[in-house]
Structure 1
Amino acid sequence: MERNEKCFCGSGKKYKYCHIGIEKDSVLSNLISFYQILDKELEKSKNPAKCHTGCSACCHQVFAIQLSEFLYACYGYQRLHGNIENILNVGSSVYSRLVTEYPELSQAIQKIEFATDAASYQKSSGQLAECMGRIKIPCIFLNSSTNLCMVYDYRPIVCRYYGLAYLPISDDIDKFYICKENIQGVTLSDLVNLDILGDNLIELSLFKSKKYNAVMFDMLFPIFYFCYLFTSGKDNFNFKFEKMKKLSRAKYADSMFERNLKK
């Protein structure tokens, strides 16, 4: 896009003042579009959230997000606060400490990374969720001085619905929550059923490559694990960041498969 064109996101702002660097129809622009759909659905819901400015109950619970969500939050941090390197180092240090205290955390993550089918991936994800549920630490994007999110407008899906959305995978309402502060007096009819997002939610998790006739998942991991990957040299932050800002989902998938073939 040209710098002085209106941004693809529909804000009405010029591209150079809005989502500069993110190309229209790229992985991250698709994510932005999804966020807009989700936010509209949340506005239509009853949304009985008891959240208020300065509340950070959700921000002290560990949850998993997709790599694309993490990179978009990093994009937001860079736009608002500058260099992301310090945040990555903080997150990596958190991971190093936690794997000592919770060795089952790294074991669950490794099982997800090496899962070869949907069943094993789902089982490993359940083990990771169970482990994360026992950990209480502040999010690396939480400002400890103000108790406010430093990337609020760029926050992940789970942060947008405040733990008040669900997928019909269980009859146990307690399993739908991230934030226990919101559970009092809430029933399923009060929540946003993420199934209404249908194919949008599914497509957000998949990268399909026609060239290689293959599919890869945008797998869910804790924020601090992504930090560890990028600071330890196990993955390349700038490479994936630039690819997700520039390439469509299909071209991104092609590039990832080509990269893996070269290793």
Structure 2
Amino acid sequence: MDEYVARKIMAVLVAAEGDPEILDILAEATRRLAKYNEVPGMRSERAALLGERVETEKGIERLYDDLGLGIHEGAIGRARFLQDKEVLEERLVGIERRIGEVGALELPVLPIAEWTYTEAPDGDPLGEGSWWEKADVADRRMLASLFVDEIRVKKAAGRGGSNRVCQVEKRVSVRMAQAQREEAELDVVQAAWRHPVTVMHEPRPAPQPCVCHQDTRSGNNLDRCRVGQSGGPSLPGADTSGRRPPSR
């Protein structure tokens, strides 16, 4: 299963141009890597500023709604309206200024050439001398967390027996990375630290000739992939300062 998932990722990296669906996956992987590398305080402040900007804009809209309903009629009401309007608009200007100072999320360049590097004569990105072959479990899990949202594994057709031949493509399906709705601006801060690859087991199908004895719940399989569970990241382009995500 590890190899099957890895080849799905490498297929995206090798075919990095031309396909809109692949470009969307690469864009989401880039955003995830940028969020992981960003200083936590900066990310937290940006999220707070964006939320405050939304609330301030809503406050100005409510103020004008009240004006339209005649709530601010009369000299006193008009003066109160202008006062509240000035306060909210000044606050909004200050928020916009600070957002500009904090800056937008800086998107890194994915080190695709390094991830797909190989010394194998046939160019196999998982072959001899490849990045994948040399990477430890933590690096492999990190790569999977950038490009994969979910790995779904069907249970084996049966138990026991001596036939160890199993067609993994019939048991494993991979859902590649997709941008989460409304995450472009209002990110949940903790989401930057962990992008788990979730394995969901489906009900056991009717008996089939194929029997697989691989225990997908143990060993170094990617079905246990969690960002940061095996030490800090060391991917090309990732933060190497030793900062680790908080435990779950």
TM-score if structure 2 supplies the norm length? 0.26
TM-score if structure 1 supplies the norm length? 0.25
Give the structure with the higher percent helix: 1
By relative contact order (CA 8 Å, sep 6+), the higher-ranking structure is 1
